[in-house]
Chain A
Amino acid sequence: MNNNQKLERGAEDIFGNWMQASMDFWNSMTGRHGGMFDPAGALAQAAQSSSDQAEKMWRSGNKMFQLWFSILGEPENLSSFAKGAEVLPGFMTQTVQQMWESFVEVHKQLLSRSTPLGQKAPASDFTQPDLNIFRTWKQIYQKEFQKFLNVPQLGLTRVYQERMQRFVDEANLFGTALAEFVRLFYVPIEKSLDIMQTKVEEMIEAGEFPEDPKELYLQWIKVLEGHYTTLLKSPQYTQVLNNMLQNLVKFRNARNELIYDALGNIPIPTNRDMDELYQEIYQLKKKVRELSRKLEAKSN
């Protein structure tokens, strides 16, 4: 017997002993509870039938419990249980490792994107590399994290669990799309401030600094307007805007599904219920209008 086998054997013995002790404990507890369920006195007499039923259930449960643990306590099963238990830390390690790798990836992206920050970008260029960080993050999210939210759910509450997971997923995607939109929308402010800084430096060097600070504001707002005009016409802005809107709608729909589920348990109609009703009313009204027009035309 090598060291590993010895260790395994030792672990099995400990587990087996613990199993035996716990079975003994529950046996004695069952015996005591059994005593408690024994009819004694008038009140107990009245409750005898339900008490018997409860005792029966208790004994049956205990029997299953014992049976299950005695099977588990067999050496070969204990060994496979121990092996199975080893899987859990492995799974955890893998998950943490994946998350860590993703974090490192985002960090690497940030570092590589931050290199050109000190460089000047032309006014018409809104494809600044640092904006790609949102897409990189989205890709990483979809590749590494989203799958956890797509794990199929089981049982009676499967639908509700899946809705909750979808909500979390859509919230994450909408958050990313919104952040990308806000970042892009901020670019003209950043650029215009950069330009103004250069201008002010030039003014100071040339000794032409305006006496009225409002002149600087007017120059800045003009530069800012120019940058926004360029940005708002760019295909990238349209794409980011539409992407944000699409994600907003998906997030909203996922959130509404959760709310509908919650409202289903209380006597409040949902938008979905009301929409069905409104559609029927709309169609009926239209039909009534059409018929009354026909009737009017006939009577004329």
Chain B
Amino acid sequence: MNPPKIAVDLILKKLAEDTEKVRIRAQKASEVLLSPLNTDIATTPHDVVYQEDRIKLKHYKPAEVRYSTPLLVVYALINRETMLDLQPERSVVRTFLEHGLEVYMMDWGYPSRKDRYLTIDDHVNGYMDNVVDFIRARHQLPQINLMGICMGGSFSVMYAALHPEKIRNLIATVTPTNFDTDAGLLHVWTRDMDADTLVDSYGNMPGDIMNLGFLLLNPARLMIDKYMGFFENIDSKPFVENFIRMEKWIFDSPAVPGETFRQFIKDCYHQNLLIQSKMELDGKRVDLKNITMPLLNIYAKFDHLVPPRACELLTQKVGSQDVEDVCLETGHIGIYVSSKIQQQFAPKILDWLKARDGSAKTQAAGKKASGRRKSASKAKPAARSGAPATAS
């Protein structure tokens, strides 16, 4: 008698084992879910030192200040800046503070219907300029350091080009400046998008609609596999807590002011004006050649929202001689929340800033080490962290 082709007995045994595992997991899961969970995000202590309309300026002060120039972080209008401080052990903000860097962070707040007429100019030459002036006055400094994230990076590039005298060092992270690429799905989809009808109808672009768009970028992973992963680990309290923190952040999506959205889609995605130094804010041309301060340009190799091609041209187009490209082997969000990349991302920024910090000695060292450089990290892609394909 021939043995059966398929080991049915083994399959049945495995099924029985799995059933038992599921039963035990479900029991533990109920204990985890019914117990008090610590899912707070953005817990690093800070003060709100400036407020204008809906925007707030958060100030994070280290125990010991070791950098002479503070850093202003400008996040995107999509999702929230809490991503930089998602959980204590994976917080970019905490790493900066531990190394003595004083951090200011722009909280764009939640735009309401009355903000629908605010343009990119109002954000860049209005709110951002006021905040930069406030910090300069507070520290009695002529210049401060500026770091932009995603769309906030694009705003920072525009700001640095229009107000170069106020910025000492510029750091662009996953910052789209070249929109003429098919590498990212967003670039493909928005090409035919009629921003006018959307904005005229909605006023502001609702966060939920944008979030749905981001989920549709990878439905298999973000709508199915991610939650399968959750159910597989539902009996682990730390996993559940971190997962819920991430969920809180992902779906905390303010709307984007209508006119800003319209201009960003038309000037950037449709006409690609920024990288060509043809973009105008309230009649003032954004000439990238005016960016003469040191520039660190960090982007992610596996970023499907802002692919490397959308970021890497920037250093070639600016007027500065002290530029550096860093490509990390991770995704759009992994760059800020992956524990592996945390060992490279924040330390890289800290070292780069230290080399260009205020004192004459360090400044000279920084200039000596400067020049056009291109580097890539050797880190492997981040393991699945539940990180979504959400824009920042």
Is A65 in the interface zone, CB < 8 Å from B? no
Contact with A along B98-115 (1 / 0, CB 8 A): 000000000000000110
Enumerate chain A residues within 8 angstroms of B126, measured Cβ to Cβ: 289
* B369 at the A interface (CB under 8 A): no
Please tell me which stretch of B155-163, B192-200, B244-252 contacts chain A, meaning at least 4 of its Cβ atoms lie within 8 angstroms of it: B192-200
How many angstroms from the CA of A256 to the CA of B201 in the assembled complex? 9
Bound-state CA distance A206–B5 (Å) is 7
Shortest CB–CB separation between residue A52 and chain B, in angstroms?
57
User: A31 CA to B128 CA in the complex, in Å?
Assistant: 85
Answer yes or no: A90 CB below 8 A from chain B CBs.
no
Chain B residues with CB under 8 Å of A275's CB are 113, 116, 203
Interface string of B112-135 (1 = CB under 8 A from A): 011011100010001000000000
Assess whether B224 is interfacial by the CB under 8 Å rule.
Answer: yes
A242–B194 alpha-carbon span in the complex (Å): 8
**Chain B interface (Cβ within 8 Å of chain A)?**
4-7, 10-11, 14-15, 18, 113-114, 116-118, 122, 126, 185, 188-189, 191-194, 197-198, 200-203, 216-221, 224-225, 228
Closest to B201 in A: A249
Chain B residues, Cβ within 8 Å of A238? 188-189, 191-192
Q: Which of A198-230 contact B (CB under 8 A)?
A: 204, 206-209, 211-213, 217, 221, 224-225, 228
Contact among A188, A206, A228, A246 for B194, CB-based, below 8 A: A246
Q: Would A249 and B192 be within 8 Å (CB), given that A213-B18, A221-B224 are in contact? A: no
User: In whole angstroms, what is the CA distance A3 to B11 when docked?
Assistant: 86
CB-based contact B198/A249 at 8 Å? yes
- Distance from B202 Cβ to chain A, minimum over Cβ atoms (Å): 8
Closest to B130 in A: A289
Give the residue among A233, A274, A279, A282 with the most B Cβ atoms within 10 A.
A282
Among candidates A232, A233, A242, residue contacting B192 with C-beta atoms closer than 8 Å: A242
B116–A228 CB distance below 8 A = no
A236-249 vs B, CB cutoff 8 Å, 1 = contact: the mask equals: 00110110011001
- B11, B198, B201 — most chain A CB neighbours (10 Å): B201
Interchain CB contact (< 8 A) of B116 among A213, A241, A278: A278
Give chain B's interface secondary structure class: helix
A241–B181 Cα gap in the complex (Å)?
Answer: 20
Residues of A with Cβ closer than 8 Å to B? 185, 188, 204, 206-209, 211-213, 217, 221, 224-225, 228, 232-233, 238-239, 241-242, 245-246, 249, 252-253, 256, 271, 274-275, 278-279, 281-282, 286, 289
Task: State in angstroms the CA–CA spacing of A286 and B123 once bound together.
Answer: 12
A selection of 9 A-B contacts at a CB cut-off of 8 Å is A207-B6, A211-B11, A221-B225, A225-B218, A232-B185, A232-B216, A239-B192, A249-B197, A279-B117
A209 to nearest B CB, angstroms? Answer: 5
In whole angstroms, what is the CA distance A114 to B202 when docked?
A: 39
Across the two chains, which residue of chain B brings its CB closest to A232?
B185
- Contact in complex: A282, B198 (CB < 8 Å): no
Give Cα distance in the complex from A252 to B126, angstroms.
33
The interface residues of chain A lying within 8 Å CB-to-CB of B5 are 204, 206-207
Q: Which of B10, B192, B228 contacts A217 (CB 8 A)?
A: B228
Chain B residues with Cβ under 8 A from A208's Cβ? 6
Task: Verify B6–A225 contact, CB threshold 8 A.
Answer: no
User: Contacts A207-B6, A211-B7, A239-B192 hold; do A233 and B18 have CB atoms under 8 A apart?
Assistant: no
**Which residues of chain B are within 8 angstroms of A289 by Cβ–Cβ distance?**
126
Docked Cα-Cα span, A207 to B113, in Å, equals 63
List chain B residues, Cβ under 8 A from A239.
Answer: 192
Rounded to whole Å, the gap between the CB of A255 and the closest CB of chain B is: 10
Given A207-B5, A271-B113, A275-B116, answer yes or no on A245-B10 (Cβ-Cβ < 8 Å): no
Q: Which of A206, A232, A253, A256 contacts B217 (CB 8 A)?
A: A232
Q: Which residues of A contact B203 (CB under 8 A)?
A: 271, 275
Residues of A within 8 A of B118 (CB): 282
Is A228 in contact with B192, judged by CB distance below 8 angstroms? no
* Chain A residues within an 8 Å CB radius of B116: 275, 278
Known: A242-B194, A246-B194, A253-B201. 12 other contacts (CB 8 A): A185-B219, A188-B220, A211-B10, A232-B216, A238-B192, A245-B194, A245-B198, A249-B200, A278-B114, A278-B116, A281-B114, A282-B117
Which of A211, A225, A252 neighbours the largest number of chain B CB atoms within 10 Å of its CB?
A211
Closest partner residue, chain A, to B12 (CB atom): A211
> Which residues of A sit under 8 angstroms from B6, Cβ to Cβ?
204, 207-209
Taking CB atoms, residues of chain B closer than 8 Å to A209 are 6, 11
Question: Contact partner of A233 among B14, B114, B188, B194, CB < 8 A?
Answer: B188
Question: Does A278 lie within 8 Å of B117, measured CB to CB?
Answer: yes
Question: Are B219 and A228 in contact, with the CB atoms below 8 A?
Answer: yes
A232 to B182, CA, bound (A): 12
Q: Which 6 residue pairs spanning A and B have beta carbons closest together? A: A207-B5, A225-B220, A282-B117, A224-B220, A249-B201, A278-B114
In contact, A252 and B201 (Cβ under 8 angstroms): yes
**Closest approach, in angstroms, between the C-beta of A289 and any C-beta of chain B?**
7
Distance to closest chain A CB from B182 (angstroms): 8
- Closest beta carbon of chain B to A293's beta carbon, Å: 10
Residues of A contacting B189 in the complex (Cβ-Cβ under 8 angstroms): 238, 241
Q: Which residues of the partner chain A approach B201 to less than 8 Å between Cβ atoms?
A: 249, 252-253, 256
- Complex CA gap A204/B113 in Å reads 60
State whether A274 and B198 are in contact (beta carbons under 8 Å apart), knowing that A207-B5, A232-B216 are contacts in the complex. Answer: no
Residues of A within 8 A of B220 (CB): 188, 221, 224-225, 228
